Structure 1
Amino acid sequence: MGKNNNRKKNARKKKKGTSSPLPEDDAQTAGELNTVSVEATENEVEVATEADAERKALKIEENVEANGDQKENKQSKGRFSWITSPIGSALSKLGGSDPLPPPLEGSLYLFTPSQQDLAKRLCELPGTTNQRHLFKNWSSDPEYDDKKKAFMSKLEMVDQSYPDGGLIGYLNNAVGLLEKSRNGENPLEGWEPSVPKGESFAVGTDAFIDTEKLGLEEVGKCGFVLVAGGLGERLGYGDIKIGLPTELATGTTYIQFYIETILAFQSRYAEPGKRLPLCIMTSGDTNDKTVALLGKNSNLGMDKDQITIVQQGQGVPALSDNDAHIALDEEDPYDIQMKPHGHGDIHALLHSHGVAKSWLEQGMKWTVFFQDTNGLAFHTLALSLGVSSKLGLIMNSITCPRKAKQAIGAIVKLKKGDMERTINVEYNQLDPLLRATGYDNGDVNDETGFSPFPGNINQLVFNLESYVQVLERTKGVMPEFVNPKYKDAEKRVFKKPTRLECMMQDFPIVLEGSDEVERVGFTSLASELCFSPVKNATTDGVALQANGTHPGVAATGEADQSNAMCIILRSIGCDVQSGDTMIANGIEFRAGPDCVAKPSFAVCSNELKKKFPYPSRVKISGRSSLVLSGDGLVIESLNLDGALVIECEEGASGVIRNLSVKNDGWVKVLEGMLYKSEDEVIQMRGYSMRKIDTEKIVFKKDGSIEGNYQITTTSVCGVPVVGDLCQPASEEASDSNTFCAGGCAIM
């Protein structure tokens, strides 16, 4: 340990330009180097460090080239290789008895002092865990010098970015975890499971409405974290996933939908002048594309300084065996295999970039984590904030009811002696854990028809003050795990390289003391209202659906988004009929109705109740398409059998009353029936949206109304009202107790 500390001190000195003397044993080597330098340049220059040697050799080349002597130029290159060899020999004797691999020894002059130190430390790791294999197949041909430099730069990048001891720390952690995995050690051994603290809801109930209403008092104090590290290649999409449209009715992309929702919360619930911040975690693959997408679209309505982008590192080295040997690229000995470290890195990034602390100083009270392609993410936001506020939670996991043994992680409270934690337990670990601790039947459904342990969907809400305190203590470093796939029964050979991973939902593991660990819980709502990720290729989705698992493809993501809105409308009393099912690309889903409420219209059930004050007067057929936008819009009575788009400009107001629309509407056309699209968005769905006939009404800020529907309009208390002249007013509509949005009696 002392040797490593001294080495680090020396490396830091070298970075500052301080010379590091060679050992006495190498005095002759230094003298030889000085002699060579004098002969080559006719200037006596002392070479005290390997960096000086490299600079000196480069100067030799420059001087020779300046004289135009091609023959001497070749000789100087020879000296360049020869000069560094003695330095390499000298360095190889520092801190270790075994010489460095000859290919590395002959290449040290190419690297910075810190890179040389890192290479040496990798070779000096004890026993079979040393990483000498990384360098043994290097060529001495100068043609590969740039590749060697890139190789060491990559290792140095990992060393600087891994928060728990650099690259050596990563390898040490890996050796320990791999040994535990090989020995079959159970990390849950001795822990007693029980149902954690939390609340479950059914949409539309009094408990749901009241808790959501409580949460609406908090949504104006939230900072939002989008964990968006993914490309869409797996889906058959050549760009970043947040650029995918959530649905074809409006073409709204995921990132646009998320930002519009945050801005809607901001405009209606934040204090005047307070902006709700957004942080996006990107990867090396997605960072530039994310910046370009936002820039091209003027940040989709947000101020530029309202958005912070933090980029995850390039990953961690893949490991080829139980000794944690770094896996080389199979086709290139000058590169290593890298794998993602996991979304648990987001906590360290929020700490190191000062994001969470800055938000706290800006007056934010909560931090909300959500993922890149779940169009249902915000249906539970106000509800979960209400639960967090009532129960005083530091961390609140959004969950959904899960069937016993369903292949989804569960939120479980664990106790072991005086220790306690509420964490995600993978489904294949939960059943044996329960059986080993007195639950004879393991994971079984209770009287509700579901397991008492709710399913984790990786959407999290944190109390920001407590979250920042934990980040200050832990630097945001999350516990890691390893999950190698073995070829043999002895667990000595991997099927493919593995790596250490960390997950953002493991945050409760780093909590300390009862005041922290007891303040972790959950909010549960049916998955059809909160979770429909678009993450799988269509072929994979077909196989999943055949096994009774949600396919998680683009077609179901769109269908579920519309269906969730239909469910909420039904819960408040609207008559929304179910459409037919269809099959596209082998995926079965419900084709309609397509109901889209833009965030500017409403963002939660409490708002929808106000937007549809007389829900029994609203009927939507199963083949219909309805798009609503604008804060000033109210739907009092509507009979829709077709396609209708209603917009209300910012600052305008409008009421829809006794409106009946029947037209040919919009139809989903299977791909290939009429033509084959080259659009990836259409290909991944297996259908396109053919907009045959659309009725559109626009309430303008100046009080006028635009539209292509033959209607008459009236104004009640200054609020434009649209209705169908051919349809008599209903008995309910003529009720003297009916009020418009402004509270004026309707005549």
Structure 2
Amino acid sequence: MASQGFTNFSYGVLLPGPVMDNKGILSDEEFGLATVLQEAGQGHLMAQWPMPGTDDDLKRKFLQQAKHLHETSPGEGGIIGYASRARKLLADSAEGVNPLDGWSPSVPEGVALEPGSARYAELEEKGGGEVGACGFVLVAGGLGERLGYGDIKLKLPTELCTETSYLTLYCAQIQALQTRYGEGRLLPLAIMVSDDTADKTSAELDAHQHFGLDPKQVTLIKQEKVPAIQDNDGRFVLEDGDKYQISTKPHGHGDVHTLMHRCGVARRWREDGVRWCVFMQDTNGLALHSLAAALGVSVELELEVNSMAIPRKAKQAVGGIARLTREDGSAMTVNVEYNQLDPLLRGSGHKDGDTNDPETGFSPYPGNINQLLFAMGPYCEVLEKTGGALEEFVNPKYADESRTTFKKPTRLECMMQDYPKLLSPEAKVGFTSMAPWLCFSPVKNSLGDAQAAQAKGTPPASASSGEADQYHLWAELLRKLGCAVETGAVQEYEGIGVSLSPRIVVQPGIAVTLHELKSVVPSPADVKISADSTLLVLGAGTVVIDKLDLDGTLILQAAAGETLHVKRLTVRNSGWHCQALTAEERDSAAETLRMRGYRLAKGEQCEASGAKVIDRSDTVSTGAL
């Protein structure tokens, strides 16, 4: 039987008796790792070890996991530093310490843009010259389990008309921007993956030849996990039923900055001439349509950090971007969580707290969407100084009002939008705010969560709303240009109300930005699309639509080097329609349909492809043109 308590003092640290009993089977490195664990306050993890001869390989495996956690732990000090920071943050949390005490908020520097306005066109043109100097960072460490999907979220289809996955879409957009603005340069893509997604993401890229990108321009950077914590003493917890496995949890997407530094990606990109770093989420299919305009804002205001944002109502449950200052001269422009912003304003002399501007109807503090645009030079300099380690926080779920025990283990976390906290007060940080339909439509909620969100008046963020927003983007951009595009009715699928028509998809090879779309419809007043129509403009060539009257489904496709010119065309057919799944279909339908609650019924269609000119004075119904 293993001895109890502490029986020896080694390396200046008292070790549990069971560790000393097993010293003879451990190498010097393994014994040193046990010492590190004890110094981190984690001796309890080894307190139940049996005598040598029992589970010896499992003990060594446990210590190898401890080594990995120590070496990959974010911040300074490995797991010793991690545990120390955890105890401090947990003590502050238990005492109700507000980390923003002493800070006073004010409206940050930034620009609110309206697509279709002269100002938007000006900034989009100004930023267009910088698109070819961008590198893209995709945060994609999660699986789709929350959505009812058993694979990586990047494989989810953005919409059912083309079934283009998010990964396909992002790669196609980067390739299109590279072709049009890169001047022969490759625009690099870094994808932050996790243990859950690394192999599947790599396999998906390989299976599809990196979706047209050069393999050397794509880099996977893997995020590691951190130990789960069971109490205010910062004690790590073992996996249920396995006394030789430390339970771990994700540390948050803020690790992307540490990885960009540790893996040498940021430094390499800068050396290769990348001037801008674009951060985006894995299932926001609208992320890059406003990139040129946002770059224009960064250039004009000389911003180191430009946070993409959306208008938010006062007290809306969305974090607000604010300029924070203290009496000692400290200053930063960061996201402030909505439940902190209002009391912070009231405590700083704003008696009404977070209120809407009478002129705009929105709060002057725009909503954070975790889409960021960094100037590459200053970013690399900050990473060299700090290693990219961000300020951490802890959010334990307490079991009762004593705030001493947790409902379940917690962990330290960090958020990528907190990067400005690493900057000096003089650093230029601002925002670009645009309507959500142009830049923000995350897909993250299950049907149940989406129903609850919509009931509260917030976007459902479901697969169905994400698809609806894909179609709405192109319909609205065409309207901004002057096309007559009718609005489809809102219909309910699985308790979620969405408008899935007209279904309009313009692939990246044809257009990504509003400026590029202008060349597709040079005479917008002559383009009419009915409320329940489907228009797909596909390929990587040139499609020009002079005059179109569409009531049904039309597919236009031009490959690279081809020009498909529609001079005059009227289409009338039964088209495609979304149909709710029946009870029987729900049981057998694919996951991607069950999470939507409908399928796409493809009826009559008209299509044209290749290099040709179409000039029809008659009405066309179906078939190839």
Amino acid at match of 2:310: C
Aligned to 2:120: 208
Q: Distance in 2 between matches of 1:636 and 1:402?
A: 38
**Pick from 726, 738, 746: which aligns with 2:618?**
726
Aligned to 1:422: 333
Contact 1:111 1:152 in 2 (8 A): no
**Pick from 535, 555, 578: which aligns with 1:668?**
578
Kindly state the Cα deviation for residue 94 of structure 1 after the two structures are TM-superposed. 1.9
> Is 1:304 equivalent to 2:196 in the alignment?
no
Aligned to 2:18: 103
Q: Distance in 1 between matches of 2:87 and 2:108?
A: 33
Kindly state the Cα deviation for residue 102 of structure 1 after the two structures are TM-superposed. 2.6
Q: Distance in 2 between matches of 1:554 and 1:123?
A: 47
Contact 2:21 2:52 in 1 (8 A): no
Aligned to 2:204: 293
Aligned to 1:500: 412
**Pick from 612, 627, 634: which aligns with 2:544?**
634
Kindly state the Cα deviation for residue 487 of structure 1 after the two structures are TM-superposed. 2.2
| TM-score under structure 2 length normalisation | 0.95
**Pick from 601, 606, 618: which aligns with 1:690?**
601
**Pick from 509, 515, 519: which aligns with 1:610?**
519
Aligned to 2:97: 185
Residue-by-residue CA offset, 1:602-640 (whole Å, 9 max, x unaligned): 111111112111101000011011110233111111001
Kindly state the Cα deviation for residue 122 of structure 1 after the two structures are TM-superposed. 2.7
Q: Distance in 2 between matches of 1:471 and 1:422?
A: 18
Contact 2:277 2:376 in 1 (8 A): yes
Kindly state the Cα deviation for residue 411 of structure 1 after the two structures are TM-superposed. 0.5
Q: Distance in 2 between matches of 1:650 and 1:159?
A: 50
Residue-by-residue CA offset, 1:11-64 (whole Å, 9 max, x unaligned): xxxxxxxxxxxxxxxxxxxxxxxxxxxxxxxxxxxxxxxxxxxxxxxxxxxxxx
Contact 1:670 1:688 in 2 (8 A): yes
| TM-score under structure 1 length normalisation | 0.80
**Pick from 461, 465, 468: which aligns with 1:556?**
465
Moved more, 163-172 or 425-434: 163-172
**Pick from 36, 45, 58: which aligns with 1:134?**
45
Kindly state the Cα deviation for residue 666 of structure 1 after the two structures are TM-superposed. 0.5
**Pick from 493, 501, 515: which aligns with 1:592?**
501
Residues 102/216 of structure 1: CA separation in 2 closer, same or farther (3 Å cut): same
Q: Distance in 2 between matches of 1:333 and 1:350?
A: 34
Aligned to 2:623: none
Contact 2:398 2:407 in 1 (8 A): yes
Kindly state the Cα deviation for residue 449 of structure 1 after the two structures are TM-superposed. 0.9
Mapping for residues 316-327 of structure 1, pairs under 5 Å: 316-327=226-237
Contact 1:379 1:604 in 2 (8 A): yes
Larger helix proportion, structure 1 or 2?
1
Aligned to 1:114: 29
Aligned to 2:434: 525
**Pick from 475, 478, 486: which aligns with 1:569?**
478
Q: Distance in 1 between matches of 2:33 and 2:241?
A: 24
Amino acid at match of 2:228: A
Kindly state the Cα deviation for residue 190 of structure 1 after the two structures are TM-superposed. 1.1
Amino acid at match of 2:60: K
> Is 1:680 equivalent to 2:587 in the alignment?
no
Contact 2:304 2:375 in 1 (8 A): yes
Mapping for residues 340-355 of structure 1, pairs under 5 Å: 340-355=250-265
Q: Distance in 1 between matches of 2:24 and 2:179?
A: 60
Kindly state the Cα deviation for residue 254 of structure 1 after the two structures are TM-superposed. 0.3
Mapping for residues 54-65 of structure 1, pairs under 5 Å: none
**Pick from 128, 131, 139: which aligns with 1:227?**
139
SS at match of 1:656: strand
Amino acid at match of 1:206: A
Contact 1:578 1:593 in 2 (8 A): yes
**Pick from 159, 168, 172: which aligns with 1:260?**
172
Amino acid at match of 2:124: E
Aligned to 1:173: 85
SS at match of 2:599: strand
Kindly state the Cα deviation for residue 175 of structure 1 after the two structures are TM-superposed. 1.1
Mapping for residues 394-405 of structure 1, pairs under 5 Å: 394-405=304-315
SS at match of 1:274: coil
Amino acid at match of 1:294: L
Kindly state the Cα deviation for residue 587 of structure 1 after the two structures are TM-superposed. 1.1
SS at match of 1:611: coil
Amino acid at match of 2:410: T
SS at match of 1:146: helix
Amino acid at match of 2:482: G
Kindly state the Cα deviation for residue 547 of structure 1 after the two structures are TM-superposed. 1.1
Q: Distance in 2 between matches of 1:110 and 1:392?
A: 60
Q: Distance in 2 between matches of 1:621 and 1:104?
A: 75
Q: Distance in 1 between matches of 2:222 and 2:25?
A: 29
Aligned to 1:441: 352
Higher relative contact order (CA 8 A, sep 6+): 2
Aligned to 2:401: 489
Q: Aligned residue pairs: how many?
A: 614
Aligned to 1:34: none
Q: Distance in 1 between matches of 2:39 and 2:482?
A: 71
Q: Output the aligned Cα RMSD.
A: 1.9
**Pick from 155, 158, 161: which aligns with 2:72?**
161
Identity %: 47
Aligned to 2:59: 148
Contact 1:223 1:276 in 2 (8 A): yes
Residue-by-residue CA offset, 1:683-702 (whole Å, 9 max, x unaligned): 111111111111110024xx
Aligned to 2:563: 653
> Is 1:579 equivalent to 2:460 in the alignment?
no
Kindly state the Cα deviation for residue 103 of structure 1 after the two structures are TM-superposed. 2.2
Contact 1:423 1:506 in 2 (8 A): yes
Contact 1:534 1:554 in 2 (8 A): yes
Residues 235/427 of structure 1: CA separation in 2 closer, same or farther (3 Å cut): same
Aligned to 1:71: none
Kindly state the Cα deviation for residue 150 of structure 1 after the two structures are TM-superposed. 2.0
Task: Give the greater-gyration-radius structure (CA).
Answer: 1
Amino acid at match of 1:185: V
Contact 1:96 1:124 in 2 (8 A): no
Q: Distance in 2 between matches of 1:504 and 1:237?
A: 25
Q: Distance in 2 between matches of 1:181 and 1:674?
A: 50
Aligned to 1:374: 284
Kindly state the Cα deviation for residue 239 of structure 1 after the two structures are TM-superposed. 0.7
Amino acid at match of 1:107: N
Kindly state the Cα deviation for residue 543 of structure 1 after the two structures are TM-superposed. 1.0
Contact 1:658 1:727 in 2 (8 A): no
Contact 1:92 1:120 in 2 (8 A): no
Aligned to 2:386: 474
Larger strand proportion, structure 1 or 2?
2
Residues 476/110 of structure 1: CA separation in 2 closer, same or farther (3 Å cut): farther
Aligned to 1:409: 319
Q: Distance in 1 between matches of 2:27 and 2:139?
A: 35
SS at match of 1:496: strand
Kindly state the Cα deviation for residue 93 of structure 1 after the two structures are TM-superposed. 2.8
Kindly state the Cα deviation for residue 97 of structure 1 after the two structures are TM-superposed. 7.0
Q: Distance in 2 between matches of 1:204 and 1:370?
A: 24
Aligned to 1:244: 156
Aligned to 2:294: 384
Residues 431/140 of structure 1: CA separation in 2 closer, same or farther (3 Å cut): same
Moved more, 207-216 or 457-466: 207-216
Q: Distance in 1 between matches of 2:25 and 2:490?
A: 64
Kindly state the Cα deviation for residue 529 of structure 1 after the two structures are TM-superposed. 1.6
Kindly state the Cα deviation for residue 124 of structure 1 after the two structures are TM-superposed. 4.1
Q: Which consecutive unaligned segments of at least 5 residues does structure 1 have?
A: 1-84, 701-719, 729-747
Residue-by-residue CA offset, 1:203-252 (whole Å, 9 max, x unaligned): 11111111111111110100000011011111111110001110110011
Amino acid at match of 2:29: S
Contact 2:5 2:16 in 1 (8 A): no
Residues 724/673 of structure 1: CA separation in 2 closer, same or farther (3 Å cut): farther
Amino acid at match of 2:510: F
Residues 266/103 of structure 1: CA separation in 2 closer, same or farther (3 Å cut): same
Residues 612/132 of structure 1: CA separation in 2 closer, same or farther (3 Å cut): same
Kindly state the Cα deviation for residue 143 of structure 1 after the two structures are TM-superposed. 4.4
